[in-house]
A and B are shown apart, each in its own frame.
Chain A
Amino acid sequence: MLVRSEIDSNLSSGPFGSYELLHEDHDTFLEGRAWAYHLESPPKTALTSPQVLARISQRMNHDLTGYDLPWDRLSPMLGETAERWTSPAPWLDGHPVWTITDWADADARQLLSLMREIFRFSAFDGEFQAGSVSSDDMAKVRRACSILQEAIPHISANTLPLVRLLLMPDTMVPSWHLMQIPESIGIGQTFLRQASDLVIAESILHECLHEKYVQLRLVRGLLASCYTDDSSPGVLLPWTLTQPRKRIFKVNRTLSTLHVYAHLTAFHAAVLETPELVEHHPEASARIRLNYERGAYLSEALSWREISNHLGSDGDHLHKWLESNALAPARKLARDREIGLRPYPTERWSRRELVSA
């Protein structure tokens, strides 16, 4: 039990793990930024669905994080109608999260068309429809959240509440976090209905971690003060060479992706140490290998001088924190349980091929 409790405790505390510290700093940031730019400050208390939608639409319109795109944005008035077309989503106890149950409402359709537009901008040209969320879908999300709470109660409590809106439209896209629609995540209905409870749990954690990183990016010095994506070198993700699209991530995205894979490695390590989740152990053994090999490769890439030069002091600390609190304990557990974990094999490529200027 030692590795599991150590992982859960370490990854849910301190400047990178604690919900409380992050949330407080983030609200201070939002309030100050609204004042500096003469904008209305997003409501701090967002418990009801109108409050949540108002907060999301205001943050969406005001986030100046470099992700602004030139489409019509969400109406700040959207929140006023939200009671008509939302309902509570199954989530962690005591943390209100909302989901959209009636996409036919004109305001809900505004949100749907915005998501469509964002996906189209990202070159996704598949179906993206409203669909309908069934009681089975809700039950599945509830079971997935139970797995997270069972395996990593503290990490879950310090990560999931950062997300306030769970969207489940009818699409083949498995799951997503859109930086343009903050504090919300999505799970496609096809994926939700086909994937196992464990994989849905992993996806929920995965997407919520993206939101956590976006907030960390705003309130911690993760990247060098002069950092821009345009001037950043790129890291090749070698496993994408066999996929339809080769991916090269800039330093910010490399750190963000490590943040996800390191946590997912930790999650599966914790599942493997939870006797109550024994039915999920075979799948967790496979998932930990995949997440570890990618996380370990990205961690190594972030230690290369031409990449690490672009990190800020907090980014450097975050990298080391993930290495020592997520990847290292997972290696220890894997040794004890004789699960082979290794970084993604890159011997066939030179550093020049893995890092682009």
Chain B
Amino acid sequence: MTETQTSIRIAPISIKGRYFLFAQNPPTVMMVDAATAVVAQLLDQPQSDTSACREKYLGITGRRGVSEEVAGSQFDAAVTALRAAGLTRLTDITPGGNLNPG
């Protein structure tokens, strides 16, 4: 199980490309695809904000030959899924790392 500096854990499931994402704040257990797992880890970095993470994600996937359009959709879908799970502290971050009160 991979634990990042803050409070999410990513653990692979026996099905290829599928992961558990665990978080403590709020307590969360969810199954995610590989793209969401990567996005969650990027968003979980200290001082990260959503647009910077998006750029990083496009860079990572671009090196693997994924088009910007596809990668952008993956990123947006991942953010939507994390937000729906209540992990807004990861997804709604303004530049500078402050929680967005909205």
Interface: B27 (CB within 8 A): yes
Closest CB-CB distance, A324 to chain B, in whole Å? 19
**Contact with B9, one of A24, A35, A64 (Cβ below 8 angstroms):** A35
Bound together, the chains give a CA A21 to CA B16 distance in angstroms of 12
The interface of chain B, by Cβ under 8 A from chain A, is 1, 9, 11, 13-15, 20, 22-24, 27-29, 31, 84
User: From residue 12 to 29 of chain A, which have CB atoms closer than 8 A to chain B?
Assistant: 15, 21, 24-25, 28-29
- Name 9 A/B residue pairs within 8 A (Cβ), A-sorted: A15-B15, A28-B1, A29-B29, A36-B29, A38-B24, A38-B27, A219-B13, A219-B20, A225-B84
**Are the CB atoms of B24 and A25 closer together than 8 Å?**
no
Residues of A within 8 A of B9 (CB): 32, 35-36
**Contact with B14, one of A21, A33, A64 (Cβ below 8 angstroms):** A21
**Are the CB atoms of A31 and B14 closer together than 8 Å?**
no
Dominant SS at the B interface?
A: strand
Residues of A within 8 A of B84 (CB): 225
Residues of A within 8 A of B15 (CB): 15, 220
Interface: A88 (CB within 8 A): no
Interface: A67 (CB within 8 A): no
Bound together, the chains give a CA A29 to CA B22 distance in angstroms of 9
The interface of chain A, by Cβ under 8 A from chain B, is 15, 21, 24-25, 28-29, 31-33, 35-38, 64, 219-221, 225
Bound together, the chains give a CA A36 to CA B31 distance in angstroms of 14
**Are the CB atoms of B20 and A32 closer together than 8 Å?**
yes
**Contact with A33, one of B13, B29, B31 (Cβ below 8 angstroms):** B29
- Report the tally of A-B residue pairs with Cβ distances under 8 A: 43
**Are the CB atoms of A15 and B29 closer together than 8 Å?**
no
Bound together, the chains give a CA A225 to CA B84 distance in angstroms of 10
**Contact with A25, one of B13, B22, B27 (Cβ below 8 angstroms):** B13
Closest CB-CB distance, A64 to chain B, in whole Å? 8
Bound together, the chains give a CA A157 to CA B1 distance in angstroms of 28
**Contact with B29, one of A21, A32, A38, A225 (Cβ below 8 angstroms):** A32
**Are the CB atoms of A36 and B14 closer together than 8 Å?**
no
Q: Which residue of B lies closest to A21 (CB)?
A: B14
Bound together, the chains give a CA A24 to CA B20 distance in angstroms of 13
**Contact with B11, one of A15, A21, A32, A221 (Cβ below 8 angstroms):** A32
Q: Which residue of A lies closest to B18 (CB)?
A: A221
**Are the CB atoms of A36 and B28 closer together than 8 Å?**
yes
Q: Which residue of B lies closest to A39 (CB)?
A: B27
Residues of A within 8 A of B31 (CB): 219-221
Bound together, the chains give a CA A31 to CA B1 distance in angstroms of 10
Residues of B within 8 A of A221 (CB): 31
Assuming the contacts A15-B14, A21-B14, A25-B13, asked whether A36 and B27 have C-beta atoms less than 8 A apart, the reply is: yes
Most B CB contacts (10 A, CB to CB) among A15, A21, A28, A221 go to A28
Closest CB-CB distance, B20 to chain A, in whole Å? 5
Q: Which residue of A lies closest to B16 (CB)?
A: A15
Bound together, the chains give a CA A25 to CA B16 distance in angstroms of 12
